[in-house]
Amino acid sequence: MASVLEKEQQLLDRPLGWNPRALLALAALVAALANFLPLWNLTMFAPQYPDGLRLDIYSFKLEGGNRGQDVREINLLNHYIGMKDLTEEDFTQFRWLPFALGVLALLFLRAAVHGRVAQLLDVSVLFTYFGLFSLWSFGYTLYRYGHDLSPQAAVKVAPFMPPLFGHAKLANFDVYSFPQLGTYAMLLVVLLLATAMLFALRRRSAGPGVPAAEPVR
């Protein structure tokens, strides 16, 4: 058991090569850029809206199509079924998501500079948890919107879950929900971190003929 722990500690303490460092720096840049790209899009079609009503969700704001008019139109429709207005204040994610992405980008850069396998593993686990929690958080917000309906609504509908991914039929509306560039950017970050870890592990197992790197001081 002690031998296994020693080997694990030696692996975690090993310095990273240049390839993992470069991938960490690139991951930091992509994570920072994700703040300025739409994360998700919801589009609603109905006979009276053949061109659709669009809603883009960023890490810090909601943006409606037609220069913001689509959000007002969606909220007007929501009143009929007793749903709350879509407001940025209700999306608590907007208060912490940009900050979290910025902190993670800085941690990526720190890991690239100090260059240890342990730090690469730490930031990889942190980012994976952050991504899964963010997805759950947005999904839960949509769930509350569809279930906290006013009993005084003009039109009575059963509680529903707006689609997080794909298509759903809500009354006479066809609703489509799909990830956008910001989410794909975060998936790219996961791929970059996984590739960096693969490079780090391959460097360790390259064989006895490969000299160990000098420790970073």
Q: What is the pLDDT of residue 99?
A: 95
Whether 10 is covered by a domain: the verdict is no
Q: What is the pLDDT of residue 26?
A: 97
Q: What is the pLDDT of residue 212?
A: 45
Whether 3 is covered by a domain: the verdict is no
Whether 115 is covered by a domain: the verdict is yes
Q: What is the pLDDT of residue 199?
A: 87
Residues of the chain with pLDDT under 70: 1-13, 203-217
Q: Which of 66, 46, 61 is nearest to 93 (CA)?
A: 61
Whether 130 is covered by a domain: the verdict is yes
Whether 149 is covered by a domain: the verdict is yes
Query: In terms of residue numbers, what domain contains 140?
Result: 17-204
Whether 209 is covered by a domain: the verdict is no
The residue whose two tokens read 């669009």 is: 54
Q: What is the pLDDT of residue 206?
A: 47
> In total, how many domains does the chain have?
1
Q: What is the pLDDT of residue 210?
A: 42
Query: In angstroms, what CA-CA distances link 30 with 55, 60, 109, 187, 196?
Result: 23, 17, 12, 10, 15
Q: What percent of the chain has pLDDT over 70?
A: 87
Q: What is the pLDDT of residue 207?
A: 44
Whether 126 is covered by a domain: the verdict is yes
Q: What is the pLDDT of residue 85?
A: 83
Whether 28 is covered by a domain: the verdict is yes
Q: What pTM value is reported for the model?
A: 0.81
